[in-house]
Structure 1
Amino acid sequence: MCMGFGCNAAGIIGCRIIDSPRERLIAMITNNFVPCNGRFPTMIAIITMFFVGGATGIFSSVLSAAILSCVIILGIVMTLVISKLLSATILKGVPSSFTLELPPYRRPQIGKVIVRSIFDRTLFVLGRAIVVAAPAGLVIWLLANITVGGGTLLAHCSGFLDPFARLMGLDGVILLAFILGFPANEIVVPIIIMAYMAEGSLLEISDLSVLRELLVANGWTWITAVSTMLFSLMHWPCSTTCLTIRKETQSMKWTAVSWLVPTVTGFVVCFLFTSIARALT
């Protein structure tokens, strides 16, 4: 779980230390509920724009940290809840004990550590990211630049998704951005900006006040902001994580389950939150 805060793919690889195959699968399936570095910028930006408000100085930082901590705690709670449900349903079994044994101390071999870290971990993860990211970048560019019937394919797709997304407190653009952001969570916000501004390439707005005005002008409310954070916390794993799960489990079935569980959870949580929030406001 802790390794997942840096990268969920690295967290999946870290599950190798779990001896029980059943518990290893549970850890892999629920690893995505821990926000990775790709999702933190989105959450922090939304918190700063919609919930910190006019707070300044140290109070602003403390308030942002407190809200972000609550989001992280929610992810941890969901990890425990889903793990319990999986243990009681499709992955029943007798819990195993965990004993931590310290290995014999040996002088570290700096060269071997560096080589294994670069080739066995860093290049492995980057290679799998490139395999999906390059074709996905082409797809995004084509959707944003091909015009059909007076609108881009990106606009048509977001319009098609809009009614369903509204039930979750989102809109079609946000949901489509998460779908197109499957290769990397970092590009979700640039895709949203690109779609709202009807531009043909990914954009980034560094001024959060300008970005907030753009989002509000396109119908964002506090419900939209919270729903986007919840869905960012609980939605399908990225392409690199899925490829890593496939390699670690050698099973398309468990890769599909690892994709489906957080996705369904994200849809249900966002729908319940939006329904309750709209009923109370």
Structure 2
Amino acid sequence: MESQSLDQNQLLEEILHQAEKLSTSDSRDRIVEKLYQNSSQLVQAGVTYTKNKHSQRTEKLDAIFTSPILGFPIMLVMLGVVFYLTIAGANVPSAMLAEFFGWIEGYLTLFFEMINAPEWLHGVLVLGFYRGTTWVISVMLPPMAIFFPTFALFENYGYLPRVAFNMDRLFKSVGAHGKQSLTMAMGFGCNAAAMMSTRIIESPRERMLAILTNNFVPCNGRWGTLIVLASLFMASGFTGGMAMVVTTSVIVGIVLFGIIVTFFVSWILSKTMLKGVPTHYTLELPPYRKPKIFDTVIRASLTKSLSVLNRAVKVAAPAAVLTWVFANIDIGGTSILLHIVQFLDPLGQSLGLDGYILMAFLIGLPANEIVLPVLLMGYLSTGELIDVEGIGDLKQIFLDQGWTCLTALNMMLFSLLHYPCGTTLINIYKETKSKKWTFMAFMIPTVIALLVTFVIAQLAKLLGWV
């Protein structure tokens, strides 16, 4: 009796083993392809179309946009166009907003002087709270007002599902899910929102992969830092339209590096902490539609841009106040801010950065938008959030602190790879209900950011570039 039961168990194990061998990614793809071919033949035999120009146009466009050869280059070009329009179009309105808020600040200062308000109250409310929030608005609002509507037009046209189709093969190769490309696209606007969008992934394992790796896509809060540093240092030898092209190319390169890191980390996690076979992803591609430009632009500008901006301001305002307090309270004749800088400087130097930069990222945990103004405040030791008059002044401040192209590159990479902002971490906890995975979502990018910048800094020293 026991022998018979043992034989049955061995037979069952053999059947399961053979089933696993049959259930490969290629076999599943061939089955789906065969089903599609058979259904297409049945439709052609049994259905008569009176007007088929639209379907023919869709198939012709899909042959281009989802082509294994042309699909990815077209994606890169589209990405570059979106970034170019964002970079080229945001500079002037950002400067106008900054000038407008500066004009209002002058009157606020006069009001505080008129009522004989204490200097510390003016510092906290105007130099900290007001400047911090208005910096976020002037830096974030113009890029969002361009980026979100442009991206929404691609979505409205029906192109984003084609992106997911193209990316599915890459994500499956690293053990993730093709729908992660859609959450990644959402992350370009706001990683906090992208965490909630991972609900479209049915598999808990693959959803966790998306949650842990989506941070490597730069959100809108990091665009300001990336664009400013790319234009100041990477495109410094160019002028006019060529400078815009170089800046865009650098930004696209940074984004591609983030995507490569996403694939690499997903592959590592799928082989270790989140083992498993990727679930099959069948995506029905919608037809191409003529975008409703006015409705799409208005909805994307008002709904998405203002909601993200509202979130950023709520989080950035306390950080701005905290920055002012740290910069204006002395311990032993030195401000708390400088104590933090001196403690962090050895680590910062080993990463090709400095203590001021690491301090700015620490205080910028609630919102990435505050990192650059906090950094400027620390460099100028003014105890207030600084608003320089022009981009030339900004570069000179960095050069006076010993910055090189390596410093700018490593700060851009650290900004790309480092831990999620406070709002994103809160959303991760809400989505996972786990302190462990929230901590991992913080630690994984932090370790990678430290490792990448350390390796680049040490290689630069070894090769004599610094």
TM-score (norm 1): 0.89
Letter in 2 for 1:220: W
Which residue does the alignment assign to 1:62? 245
Is 1:156 the equivalent of 2:362? no
Do the aligned partners of residues 134 and 58 (structure 1) sit closer, same or farther apart at CA in structure 2, a change above 3 Å counting?
A: closer
Secondary structure of the 1:38 match is helix
**Aligned-pair distance for 1:138?**
3.3
* Matches for 1:1-281 after TM superposition, within 5 Å: 1-101=184-284, 126=310, 130=314, 132-281=315-464
Q: Give the number of the structure whose residues are more often helix, by fraction.
A: 2
Letter in 1 for 2:402: G
Deviations 1:225-273 (A, max 9, x none): 1110110000000011001111111111111111111000000000001
The percentage of aligned residue pairs carrying the same residue is 45
Do the aligned partners of residues 128 and 67 (structure 1) sit closer, same or farther apart at CA in structure 2, a change above 3 Å counting?
A: closer
What is the CA–CA distance in structure 2 between the aligned matches of 1:145 and 1:254, rounded to whole Å?
A: 37
Gaps of 5+ in 2: 1-183, 287-294
Q: Does 1 or 2 have the higher relative contact order (CA < 8 Å, sep 6+)?
A: 1
Given that residues 319 and 370 in structure 2 are in contact (C-alpha distance below 8 angstroms), is that contact kept between their aligned partners in structure 1?
no
- Greater CA radius of gyration, 1 or 2? 2
Given that residues 327 and 384 in structure 2 are in contact (C-alpha distance below 8 angstroms), is that contact kept between their aligned partners in structure 1?
yes
Do the aligned partners of residues 129 and 197 (structure 1) sit closer, same or farther apart at CA in structure 2, a change above 3 Å counting?
A: closer
Which residue does the alignment assign to 1:106? none
Letter in 2 for 1:263: T
What is the CA–CA distance in structure 2 between the aligned matches of 1:167 and 1:267, rounded to whole Å?
A: 10
Gaps of 5+ in 1: 104-109
What is the CA–CA distance in structure 1 between the aligned matches of 2:446 and 2:432, rounded to whole Å?
A: 19
What is the CA–CA distance in structure 2 between the aligned matches of 1:38 and 1:123, rounded to whole Å?
A: 13
Given that residues 230 and 270 in structure 1 are in contact (C-alpha distance below 8 angstroms), is that contact kept between their aligned partners in structure 2?
yes
Hey, which bits of structure 1, 4+ residues long, moved more than 6 A?
Answer: 121-125
What is the CA–CA distance in structure 2 between the aligned matches of 1:73 and 1:137, rounded to whole Å?
A: 32
What is the CA–CA distance in structure 2 between the aligned matches of 1:187 and 1:159, rounded to whole Å?
A: 21
Do the aligned partners of residues 37 and 180 (structure 1) sit closer, same or farther apart at CA in structure 2, a change above 3 Å counting?
A: same
Given that residues 316 and 369 in structure 2 are in contact (C-alpha distance below 8 angstroms), is that contact kept between their aligned partners in structure 1?
no
Deviations 1:179-216 (A, max 9, x none): 10011111111001100111122122251111111111
Given that residues 173 and 195 in structure 1 are in contact (C-alpha distance below 8 angstroms), is that contact kept between their aligned partners in structure 2?
yes
Q: What RMSD in Å do the two structures reach over aligned CA positions? A: 2.3
Given that residues 418 and 446 in structure 2 are in contact (C-alpha distance below 8 angstroms), is that contact kept between their aligned partners in structure 1?
yes
**Aligned-pair distance for 1:277?**
1.1
Figure out how many residues of one structure are paired with residues of the other and give that number: 268
What is the CA–CA distance in structure 2 between the aligned matches of 1:50 and 1:189, rounded to whole Å?
A: 15
